[in-house]
Copies of this chain bind each other. A is one copy, B any other.
């Protein structure tokens, strides 16, 4: 009835009649290096197999200081964008012999601090973090205490911390150019109230492109609160559509776009006749909506894989001072929601 105790190194050693040291050496493949007689090595390996021994990683890690655990902090694992990242991180981590511990910060600074503490105290070898607004100091502190660390999806340009993210400027540059080419002029943008660089870059990409096209007078940026998106989105879209007579809207994140679509549906706004729409990141909703929604595709596979690779490099080679900066290229997937040509 009691939980059977696991076979320990000592059990194997006793059964063969040798010291735990010898067993440890043999099972770690260092038999030759330590000049263990090969018959002895075989005997030990056979016994370990027969007894179905597997090392207690906790003990190993206490000694070695490594857990082969990676901590992943996203804002919300139930957000499909981040769960997609999580899956890729998991796959790459597994390939490299790591297991992933995940946590959701809910874009909250306090949670972020707490989660980092918890993950570090669990002994994770390194962290992959989607940093939230205001977390720059924490991230700096973490980096200065030489914790292996890679930021993903977002980054702090002032910090020497490695990151893997999208070329956000180019994303909205692509989007805005596309809309302008389609003949739209009064193009607005809906983002979040945040100081985070990824959003600011997206805004700059839009502004610069509008200005370069001589459409500076149409520049309009609405920013909603992270915590109150649904409520604020309605009024924001009402203003843009009904007051400002905007022709097209660029949503700066996947969630904003989905929330926006809910509102536009409620408002009975016809897309793209009344309003052209561009979203961010692939989502089944965009493909199944009528009309299909144009969106910016991130090379998630690349972004997430690189993050893990960089992190594991840091863990193994201690190249903590090297700042790996990876900006991956966005791609515009054109749907029917941003086209004047399809009308009529």
- Please report the C-alpha to C-alpha distance between residue A79 and residue B90 in the assembled complex, in whole angstroms: 14
Contact B77 A99 (CB under 8 A): no
Task: Knowing A121-B57, A265-B288, A289-B288, say if A3 contacts B145 (CB, 8 Å).
Answer: yes
Residues of B within 8 A of A197 (CB): none
Q: A94-B103, A100-B101, A285-B288 are in contact. List 12 more A-B contacts (CB 8 A).
A: A58-B61, A77-B90, A78-B87, A79-B83, A80-B80, A99-B101, A99-B103, A99-B118, A100-B103, A101-B102, A284-B285, A285-B285
Q: How large is the interface on A (under 10, 10 to 19, 20 to 34, 35 or more residues)?
A: 35 or more
Q: Which of A105-134 contact B (CB under 8 A)?
A: 117-123
Contact A99 B83 (CB under 8 A): no
Q: Which of A294-338 contact B (CB under 8 A)?
A: 318, 320-321
- Please report the C-alpha to C-alpha distance between residue A104 and residue B86 in the assembled complex, in whole angstroms: 10
- Please report the C-alpha to C-alpha distance between residue A284 and residue B78 in the assembled complex, in whole angstroms: 13
Residues of A within 8 A of B (CB): 1-4, 54-59, 61-62, 67-69, 76-80, 82-84, 86-88, 90-91, 94, 99-104, 117-123, 145-147, 258, 261-262, 265, 283-285, 287-290, 318, 320-321
Min CB gap A278→B, angstroms: 16
Residue of B nearest to A57 (CB): B121
Residue of B nearest to A76 (CB): B87
Contact A90 B117 (CB under 8 A): no
